[in-house]
Amino acid sequence: MEIQPFCFAAASGVVRIAELMVEKNQDLPLIRGFNNAVTPLFIAVSNKCTEMVPYLLSITDLDQLDYQEENELLIATIHRDFYDISLWILQRYPYLAIMKDTNEETALHVMARKPSAMDVTKQLSSWTLFIDST
C-alpha cells in the first residue's frame, strides 16, 4: 500500500508541517494516498484534525475531485461532526444532497443517525433551509 508523505502530514493534524510541504509542491493537496484512494483532505476529515481540515479545504481544488470523491468527503464531514463544512460542500455541490454512496445512503441518511447533529439546532436549521431551497 503506497502512502504519500503529505497524507501523513494531513493525518497528523500539524498544519505547519503541511504548510512547509505545500510551499515546496503546491500539487500535494490533490495527490491521493492509500493506493490512490483518498485525498489528504479526506484523511484529515477522517482523523478529525480540526485545524488541518480548514487549512486543506482552503488549498484543495475541490473541482478536481470526481463526484464520488465529493460525496465521500461530504459524508465523512458528517460522520466526523464537521457540519459547517458539510453545509458548505452541499451549498457548493447541491447535487450531492441526493447522491448515494457505496452503501446506498445519502448524506441525509447518515445525518439522521447522528444524535449530535440533532442537538445542534442552528446547524439543523441551516440544513433545513438548504433542503427547502432545493
Domain 5-133: homologous superfamily in CATH: Ankyrin repeat-containing domain (1.25.40.20)
Task: Report the alpha-carbon distance of residue 76 to residue 106 in Å, rounded.
Answer: 12
Task: Read off the pLDDT of residues 67-96 as tens digits, 9 standing for 90 and up.
Answer: 999 999 999 999 999 999 999 999 999 999
**64 DSSP assignment:** G
- Angle, helices 15-24 vs 5-12, to 10°: value is 150
CB of 39 within 8 A of CB of 27?
no
Cell digits of residue 100: 448515494
Segment 103-134, tens digit of pLDDT: 999 998 998 888 765 555 555 555 555 566 65
